Amino acid sequence: MSEWTLEYHGFDPAQEGLREALCTLGNGYFATRGAAGEAEAGEFHYPGAYLAGGYNRLSTEIAGRVVENEDLVNLPNWLCLTFRPEGGDWFNLMAVELLDYRQCLDIESGVLKRQLFFRDHQGRETTLITQRLVHMAQPHLGAIEWRIRPENWAGRITVRSALDGRVINAGVARYRQLASTHLAPLSADAPGDDTICLQVETRQSKLRIAQAARTRLRVAGQEIEGKRQPVEEAGYIAQEMTFELAAGGEAVVEKIVALHTSRDRAIAEPGFAACQAVARAGAFDELLDSHRRAWQHLWQRCDIGLDGGGRVQMILRLHIFHLLQTVSPHSVDLDVGVPARGLHGEAYRGHIFWDELFIFPFLNYRIPEITRALLRYRYRRLDEARHLARQAGYRGAMYPWQSGSDGREESQQVHLNPKSGRWIPDNSSLQRHVNAAVAYNVWRYYEVTEDREFLAYYGAEMLFEIARFWASAASWNAQRKRYDIRGVMGPDEFHDRYPDAQAPGLDNNTYTNVMAAWVLGRAVNVYDLIGERRRGELNDALALSDREVSQWMSIGQQLFVPFHADGVPSQFEGYEGLQEFDWAGYRERYGDIHRLDRLLEAEGDTVNRYKASKQADVLMLFYLFSAEELGDIFAQLGYPFSGELIPRTIDYYQQRTSHGSTLSRVVTSWVLARADRLQAWELFQQVLQSDIEDSQGGTTPEGIHLGAMAGSVDLIQRGHTGLEIRDGMLRLNPCLPEALGGLHLRLRYRGCWLELDLEGDRLTLTAPESWVGPERVMFRDEIHPFGAGQRLELHYSEEERCWQPNRDCP
């Protein structure tokens, strides 16, 4: 194993779905799972391909009602490539004796390689070496190279290269009862000798998708020009090429594919654009070369080096790799959000959630143009969010829990509990806290970039409309003289209602209320920050007044936060009265109880009765804010906040959380990083295993968990360096896990690149000659002058590495 490759030895059908997800190749425009070219969708393989923002909507009658779902559409399969010896069967991995099988994802170059040596029923031994890429510089291109070597036989051989648009969305077993035929065939033809072209259209969104494939063949270095046999049926086109091959000889097959859609810019028509692109594309080796260079540039910005990192280093790079394949510099010109499960599978239908919270920090410090573009995805859907707010009886803008093409609420209305086989009402759209996430992301992006134009023109409008929403969601409780926010769900999706209540929703979820208070305070602050002219424009456009803004302040100071008798913030009002859950008993009975909501429902019980959470909820506050910031928010709310409360709160909820979401361990590891470094490291290791080991047992084959992947990288980037930007000052407060010798990264801060190295007890921060950033940085609680070309070397003792609650908190 190297620190740049994910390698597999041997073929294991049961592992194939996982490998396909982990070996997905993409470039932010489209991505394709790491399925073999000869594989067809079935029990073990699922060669899905997805276009960023490529959705379609279908209706299904289920559990007595018609439900509508918008899905990220599985594109025509462009990988299809196979061969057969004369009189033999088409190559099928399952039907041959595998003598050697290696698969390797080259993370540094973005290339997926396979090397196989097998024997068929006739005793023919063949070596097959394949390479594949999805081009990082030319986002419409994918390329495949196969080398076929008959080792102990000679004869005629036929290669088939196809584009298959007969595919459906069948990647998630739980969704199989739902309508899944998204594509309608349009045309299939062979516009050139070596080129085939397929066009399909999504049934509802009317997205025209064209793929063109140019397949060329070389034997002993000579191009084979022979006649090609077309194979056509609705939604499918292939070409077959037959030629002679000597024993020990080698045939090189190159398939270059272009993908265009009717949504692309700077094209006349997708079919023409795709055919033209493959006609103009270079040979596989040329494409490989330019693709590698594009990845080199990305790694220069995005790599994080760990001393003695080993497997941790490899997984961290794999996580960065998949993040950059889902959203890349190509996303900047697209109208797309970042799907929670990447472009790697069909789980959650490619929808966009609050997971951006975990994903943007990495991008902010490296390619903030991507964050900006992804925030613009939200901005373009502001009107839809306004509509959602109105519909629900609120003012301002209310972003949906799940978002797809046009920003309407895409959360499903019912979901299947595979444990009971029952369809259950899904109330997760009550997670209004997604609105706080959008506002929070706007502000954090601004803090790192100081992009005033963005803040004034897009950010402020979103922030004000979200503040308005929170102000209208808060209702005055005359008895306690505080504002309530009622009828919501927190991040913990296990609790959707009070145990005996008919209607869903919970009151005064601490996370939601504190975030709302923060949004209201921040909106007031931004109202001042954007300058008089813009303020005037927005006052006009949004019918906003100074009076309304001062109301935000006042509501933001008087929101209610429930506390338990011992001072621990309650997850929601009434949580303290719920029953304790029998964690040990259930673990003994079921083993894996991370989805204990499903187990309980199948038993006729409900998790709503228990103090048992799916994921970090209150603890999110310690994740999103430094102790100082949180102290300020609690002070704004007029509640006491002492340092000793933090470890108690962490401890309390940690004991009552099943970590049913991969995000949960990211948060818990973060909040423990300074209090319990060993446990934090242990949790970090578990975060790293989430996808590579499919630790939830079956979810990764349906798509990676991008929030946890990006969150793991951010745990190193910000968590262990204590990197924070507050009040316009860059702050560092390192806390390196004992298991790591050192770490090295580059940070882009307000347009300049800084180098940060942490080794043992030494931190070095180097500014370029072009540094125009702030002239001071804060290291722990000391301010240091910092200027262009300067190398700041700071030391801290082992003792200082440890978190001291009373010192860190106001």
Distance between CA atoms of residues 512 and 483, nearest Å: 13
The CA-based angle 761-763-765, given to 5 degrees, is 175
Q: How far is the CB of 438 from ligand BGC (least distance, A)?
A: 13
Ramachandran assignment for 156, one of left (phi > 0), alpha (psi -120 to 50 degrees), beta (any other): beta
Distance between CA atoms of residues 404 and 590, nearest Å: 36
| Residues 291-350 within binding reach of ligand BGC (CB under 6 A) | 340, 348
Look up tokens 């949504």; give the residue. 263
Q: Is 295 annotated as ligand-binding?
A: no
Q: Is 354 annotated as ligand-binding?
A: yes
Q: How far is the CB of 351 from ligand BGC (least distance, A)?
A: 8
Q: Is 47 in the site for ligand BGC (CB under 6 A)?
A: no
Q: Applying CB under 6 A, which of residues 46, 353, 464, 469 lies at the interface with ligand BGC?
A: 353
Q: Applying CB under 6 A, which of residues 50, 236, 354, 684 lies at the interface with ligand BGC?
A: 354
φ, ψ (nearest 5 deg) of residue 612: -145, 120
CB-wise, 461 or 496, nearer to ligand BGC?
496
Q: How far is the CB of 707 from ligand BGC (least distance, A)?
A: 5
Distance between CA atoms of residues 56 and 69, nearest Å: 8
Q: Is 72 in the site for ligand BGC (CB under 6 A)?
A: no
CB-wise, 299 or 377, nearer to ligand BGC?
377
Q: How far is the CB of 726 from ligand BGC (least distance, A)?
A: 26
Residue 303: count of CB within 10 angstroms of its CB? 17
Q: Applying CB under 6 A, which of residues 615, 658, 690, 712 lies at the interface with ligand BGC?
A: 615
Q: Is 419 annotated as ligand-binding?
A: no
- CA-wise closest residue to 192 among 257, 282, 279, 281: 279
Q: Is 515 in the site for ligand BGC (CB under 6 A)?
A: no
Choose the binding region for ligand BGC from 15-23, 112-120, 224-232, 352-360 (rule: CB under 6 A): 352-360
CB-wise, 374 or 663, nearer to ligand BGC?
663
Q: Applying CB under 6 A, which of residues 17, 707, 711, 734 lies at the interface with ligand BGC?
A: 707
Distance between CA atoms of residues 110 and 469, nearest Å: 43
- CA-wise closest residue to 399 among 440, 358, 370, 360: 440
Catalytic residue among 493, 537, 629, 769: 493
Tell me the number of residues near ligand BGC by CB under 6 A: 12
Q: How far is the CB of 492 from ligand BGC (least distance, A)?
A: 8
Residue 239: exposed, middle, or buried by beta-carbon count in 10 A (0-12, 13-18, 19+)? buried
The tokens for 262 are 């009717």
Q: Is 255 annotated as ligand-binding?
A: no
- CA-wise closest residue to 144 among 156, 161, 168: 161
Distance between CA atoms of residues 47 and 641, nearest Å: 52
CB-wise, 194 or 355, nearer to ligand BGC?
355
H-state helical runs in 246-405: 270-280, 284-302, 310-326, 356-364, 368-380, 382-391
Cβ neighbours of residue 272 closer than 8 Å, sequence gap 6 or more: none
> Would you list the DSSP string of 658-684?
---SHHHHHHHHHHHTTT-HHHHHHHH
Distance between CA atoms of residues 729 and 776, nearest Å: 7
Q: Is 493 in the site for ligand BGC (CB under 6 A)?
A: yes
Q: How far is the CB of 533 from ligand BGC (least distance, A)?
A: 38
Q: Applying CB under 6 A, which of residues 661, 695, 700, 733 lies at the interface with ligand BGC?
A: 661
| Amino acid type, 44 | F
φ, ψ (nearest 5 deg) of residue 77: -80, 115
CB-wise, 172 or 736, nearer to ligand BGC?
172
Residue 250 annotated in active site: no
Q: Applying CB under 6 A, which of residues 400, 491, 719, 734 lies at the interface with ligand BGC?
A: 491
Q: How far is the CB of 437 from ligand BGC (least distance, A)?
A: 9
CA atoms within 13 A on the CB side of 486: 8
The tokens for 784 are 């240091």
| Residues 108-127 within binding reach of ligand BGC (CB under 6 A) | none
Distance between CA atoms of residues 99 and 502, nearest Å: 61
CB-wise, 93 or 671, nearer to ligand BGC?
671
Q: How far is the CB of 490 from ligand BGC (least distance, A)?
A: 10
User: What one-character DSSP code corresponds to residue 409?
Assistant: -
CB-wise, 348 or 458, nearer to ligand BGC?
348
CB-wise, 615 or 669, nearer to ligand BGC?
615
Binding-site residues for substrate sit at 354-355, 614-615
Catalytic residues: 493
Binding site for ligand BGC (CB under 6 A): 340, 348, 353-355, 491, 493, 614-615, 661, 663, 707
